Structure 1
Amino acid sequence: MRFLRRSLMGIFLLAVTLVLVIWAGNMVREAVVAKMNEEPRSYPQRERVFAANVVTLDPQTIVPELTVFGELRSQRTLDLRSATGGTVLEASDALVEGGTVKTGDLLLQIDPVEAQATLDRARADQQDAEAELRDAERALILAEDELTAARAQTTLREQALTRARDLQERGVGTAAAVETAELAVSSAQASVLTRRQSVASAAARIDQATTMLSRTRISVSEAERDVADTEVFAAFDGSLANVTISPGGRVTANELFAQLVDPTRLEVAFRVSTSQYARLLDGTGTLISAPVRVVLDVSGVNLSATGQITREGASVGTGQTGRLLFAALDAAPGFRPGDFVTVSIDEPALDNVALVPATAVAADETVLTVNAEDRLESAQVSLLRRQGDNVIVSVGDLGGATIVAERSPLLGAGIKVQPIYPGRPAEPDAEELVTLDPERRAKLMAFVTDSRMPDDVKARIIGQLEQDQVPSGTIARLESRMGS
């Protein structure tokens, strides 16, 4: 009996346990099904509006500015060289680096002893040549007189021969007398020939003396020029550079001892790309005389000058690209040859264009316009020039349109924005208020109470949660921290 009672009790407890397990499993199943079947909680959604800086496309005429770098040069630069060698006797006080000279100022005097000696020898040779010419002329006169006398002697001998022949024909003279007369005529004619040769020799001597005199005169002229070259004068007003000589030093012929530079006639040489060069040509393909501005930044104090393009380089140059241009400057005080400057060139004006920030135009040359509903739309423009941080675009049909000045990955077509115009502060958005149900309110207040926020912050947020309507931003921030 006792065994039976215990067996029945065990069976009863097992049955109760099985019933409880089945009942608990059913409750879990029903809870899971109910959770899966219930609709997810939804919170009121609000479209996000981005603040965006905008500008207005106002059609206007703009003169593009091309900015390059260049080097200043002087249009008049002269290398000062000594034409003759020797010791420097005297040098001008201005013959120093940076010295200023005037036209005709004596810069350098070389010891003229050697040049003067050469001149004296040349003049002595000239005197000898002149004396030789006079002697040759007198010898020619004497030779001509001797020739005249020989011809007269020949005439007398021919007359004597004629008389001897007449006497022989009349029977008075003899053949021996005729022969003697003929020999005398022949001897006289030979004498005439000799005198003619003497005259020719005297004439040749005059030619040689004349040539010698010409050579000596050339030598004298060269010697005089060498003497004059011992003094070096300034060819024009300017400043001296690269001075390498001083009194007492010795220079050789053609030695460079200084450089004379005219600092008032400056030009700037700069190189532009081929595309930039093409924009500076007129309709006939001729380079325009575009105005330029040259700026030299000197410790925050900018020196500036103006000018215009005058010419271009004849060739590109080995290993170079683009074109080398030259611009003559007007008055340029403070500038010096060799300065590295910034050159701004005014290109031909562009009509119906606008100047906008470079950040407003995408790589595909599109902009984001703001329509009447403050939503963004994509529009195509044509990028014409880049001007530093700005660009020049063609307005076309977008005249008066408002575009985004600073694009970002968050902005695109269809997004609503709050336009911020230049010089006008953005208006703060009116934050939406939400009415909370008791369960949601209690959950949020419990999270704030258990958080590690400072007490003053907790009090402020709890005060907001206790209101009938709570700002949606506060709710979103708290729930994002809760992970719900």
Structure 2
Amino acid sequence: MRFLRKSLTGLFLLSITLGLLAFAGIMVRDAVVAQMAREAVVPQARERVFSVNVVSMRLETAVPVLTSFGEVQSRRTLEIRAAAAGTVVELDPAFVEGGQVTAGQVLARIDPANAQSELDRAESDLLDARAEVREAERALIIARDELVAAEDQVVLRETALRRQRDLLERNVGTAAAVESAELSLSSERQSVLTRRQAVATAEARIDQAATRLRRGEIARDEAERRLNDTEIRGEFAGTLSNVTVVAGRLVSTNEQLAQLVDPQALEVAFRVSTQQYARLLDEAGRLRGAPVTVTLDFFGTNISAQGVISREGAAVGEGQTGRQLFATLEAPRGFKPGDFVAVSIKEAPLDDVARLPATAVNAAQEVLAVGDDDRLETVQVQVLRRQGDDVLVRGRGIAGREVVAQRTPLLGAGIKVKPLRQNAVPEVPDMVELTDERRAKLVAFIEENTRMPEAAKTRLLAQLSQKQVPAEMVERLESRMGG
């Protein structure tokens, strides 16, 4: 009985195993037949649409800004030199590097002993010259008086001669008396000539005294100038630099002691290309007084000042190119001569131009404009100026059109795009509610797709688990499933 029971159990298990194997073979055969009988489904090809940032081309009147670099320099720089030789006996406390001086301030004094002695001698000689002038004037007066007296004597002698001749004609006088009267008249006339010579000598003495007086005054003035040259003064208010003198030092004539710089009379010298220079000329070919902005960067802290172009260089320097321009600064607070600064020059306004990002224009000066059905078109423009990351363009029929802000090699004429406009309200995607059967098919397709990344699968499955699913995503998955 025991053997029979075990035999029957074995037969039962064997029959069950054979039945299951047969059932499995039938299922495999049916699956293969169904798969072979199923028609191949070809996914429908869809046109690829690119999302691009677009900007609107609005025509405006723009003022281009030309950028250059230059150096700040002073229009009033004076070399302070010693006009006299000697020892520096006095030095103003402000006569140091960076010292602030005022106009007419005495900065230093050179030993004035020798100059003072020369001035004293010149004044003494001038006193002698003045005394000589006074003595010559008195001598001239006396000489003229003596001449008058001598002429009066001649008159008297002529009267006496006539009287003696009358007496001789009446036979009362003698010939000897007449002869004696003639001799006296001749002597007096000779005396008049002598007095006239004395007057001429006195007049010549006055001229000589006047010349001596003038020479004395010139010598006195020169001595005063030499004495004044021992004082070194500031010609205008400014700041001292390159100071090389100390009290007690022996200086020579024309030796440079310092430099006086006017901190308010500053200008900037900068260089532009010939093409940029041509933009700054007016209709008459003269340089315009264009406004400029000078900026000095102190590690993020900028100092700026306004100015205007004042003049241009007379010639192009050897080995240089372009043109050198000079701009006068207004209220240059914080600037010093020698500062390296950035210069921004405002050009003449340009009418009917559009401002676009530089990435919107290619080397052929073309832009991609959004046309009908959101397809791109190539539009030719003229690049007038480049302003940092932007360009100013002008073209025919570009007003109000939308162009691609950033060109890429994937974009070209005829490609369909999805414009992304600045400050546009984002569109809310359409949502649909799926049935359980439709949802299960989509989940099965995603799970069976071996080429899809795991991150994308997780994201799509998470969206399908929601009650409402984006309609665009559902359409895209179903198109890949072939309906």
Give the TM-score, by structure 1 length.
0.72
How many Å separate the matches in 1 of 2:377 and 2:240?
A: 65
Tell me if structure 1 keeps the 8 A contact 2:316–2:322: no
How many Å separate the matches in 1 of 2:347 and 2:97?
A: 40
Instruction: Name the residue aligned to 2:351.
Output: 351
The CA deviation at 1:391 is: 1.0
Q: Does 1:209 align with 2:209?
A: yes
How many Å separate the matches in 1 of 2:396 and 2:96?
A: 63
How many Å separate the matches in 1 of 2:313 and 2:174?
A: 99
Q: Does 1:124 align with 2:124?
A: yes
Instruction: Name the residue aligned to 2:291.
Output: 291
Mean Cα displacement is larger for which, 379-388 or 200-209? Answer: 379-388
Tell me if structure 2 keeps the 8 A contact 1:366–1:381: yes
Matched ranges for 1:73-472 at <5 A: 73-282=73-282, 287-305=287-305, 307-313=306-312, 315-319=314-318, 322-394=322-394, 396-419=396-419, 421=421
Q: Which residue type is aligned with residue 367 of structure 2?
A: V
Q: Which residue type is aligned with residue 97 of structure 1?
A: E
Instruction: Name the residue aligned to 1:39.
Output: none
SS in 1 for 2:115: helix
Mean Cα displacement is larger for which, 130-139 or 411-420? Answer: 411-420
The CA deviation at 1:377 is: 1.6
How many Å separate the matches in 2 of 1:421 and 1:115?
A: 86
How many Å separate the matches in 1 of 2:359 and 2:294?
A: 28
SS in 1 for 2:132: helix
How many Å separate the matches in 1 of 2:321 and 2:183?
A: 96
How many Å separate the matches in 1 of 2:46 and 2:309?
A: 64
The CA deviation at 1:90 is: 1.2
Change (3 A) 1:189 1:318: farther
The CA deviation at 1:46 is: 6.0
* CA deviations over 1:400-453 (Å, ceiling 9, x no partner): 2222333345543234445455688999xxxxxxxxxxxxxxxx99xx9xxxxx
SS in 2 for 1:71: strand
The CA deviation at 1:321 is: 5.3
SS in 2 for 1:398: coil
Tell me if structure 1 keeps the 8 A contact 2:360–2:407: yes
SS in 2 for 1:397: coil
Tell me if structure 2 keeps the 8 A contact 1:368–1:403: yes
Tell me if structure 2 keeps the 8 A contact 1:309–1:327: yes
How many Å separate the matches in 1 of 2:289 and 2:85?
A: 47
User: Could you list the runs of 5+ residues in structure 1 that have no partner in the other structure?
Assistant: 1-41, 428-443, 449-455, 461-469, 475-484
The CA deviation at 1:361 is: 2.0
Q: Which residue type is aligned with residue 251 of structure 2?
A: V
Mean Cα displacement is larger for which, 175-184 or 235-244? Answer: 175-184
How many Å separate the matches in 2 of 1:191 and 1:70?
A: 89
Tell me if structure 2 keeps the 8 A contact 1:366–1:378: yes
State the aligned residue count.
398
Tell me if structure 2 keeps the 8 A contact 1:288–1:309: no
SS in 2 for 1:271: strand
How many Å separate the matches in 2 of 1:356 and 1:310?
A: 29
How many Å separate the matches in 1 of 2:145 and 2:238?
A: 68
Instruction: Name the residue aligned to 2:14.
Output: none
SS in 1 for 2:372: coil
The CA deviation at 1:88 is: 0.6
The CA deviation at 1:244 is: 1.6
Tell me if structure 1 keeps the 8 A contact 2:316–2:324: no
Quote the RMSD (CA, aligned, Å): 3.5
Q: Which residue type is aligned with residue 160 of structure 1?
A: A
* CA deviations over 1:60-118 (Å, ceiling 9, x no partner): 33221111112212343332222222211111122111112233432111111111011
Q: Which residue type is aligned with residue 310 of structure 2?
A: R
The CA deviation at 1:398 is: 1.3
Q: Which residue type is aligned with residue 298 of structure 1?
A: F
Instruction: Name the residue aligned to 1:466.
Output: none
Instruction: Name the residue aligned to 1:11.
Output: none
Mean Cα displacement is larger for which, 277-286 or 140-149? Answer: 277-286
How many Å separate the matches in 1 of 2:89 and 2:426?
A: 81
How many Å separate the matches in 1 of 2:234 and 2:182?
A: 81
Q: Percent identity?
A: 56
SS in 2 for 1:259: strand
Instruction: Name the residue aligned to 1:58.
Output: 58
Q: Which residue type is aligned with residue 314 of structure 2?
A: S
The CA deviation at 1:222 is: 2.3
The CA deviation at 1:203 is: 0.6
The CA deviation at 1:157 is: 2.2
Give the TM-score, by structure 2 length.
0.73
How many Å separate the matches in 1 of 2:411 and 2:277?
A: 38
Instruction: Name the residue aligned to 2:440.
Output: none
How many Å separate the matches in 2 of 1:131 and 1:79?
A: 44
How many Å separate the matches in 1 of 2:313 and 2:215?
A: 44
SS in 1 for 2:151: helix
Q: Which residue type is aligned with residue 414 of structure 2?
A: G
The CA deviation at 1:53 is: 4.5
The CA deviation at 1:396 is: 4.3
SS in 2 for 1:200: helix
The CA deviation at 1:266 is: 2.5
SS in 1 for 2:373: coil
SS in 1 for 2:114: helix
How many Å separate the matches in 2 of 1:324 and 1:176?
A: 106
SS in 2 for 1:133: helix
How many Å separate the matches in 1 of 2:309 and 2:200?
A: 66
SS in 2 for 1:413: coil
The CA deviation at 1:167 is: 2.6
The CA deviation at 1:323 is: 4.4
Mean Cα displacement is larger for which, 98-107 or 192-201? Answer: 98-107
How many Å separate the matches in 1 of 2:343 and 2:367?
A: 31
User: Could you list the runs of 5+ residues in structure 2 that have no partner in the other structure?
Assistant: 1-41, 428-448, 459-475
How many Å separate the matches in 2 of 1:68 and 1:397?
A: 34
Q: Which residue type is aligned with residue 311 of structure 2?
A: E
How many Å separate the matches in 1 of 2:315 and 2:389?
A: 30
How many Å separate the matches in 2 of 1:317 and 1:58?
A: 41
How many Å separate the matches in 2 of 1:162 and 1:359?
A: 130
Tell me if structure 2 keeps the 8 A contact 1:115–1:223: yes
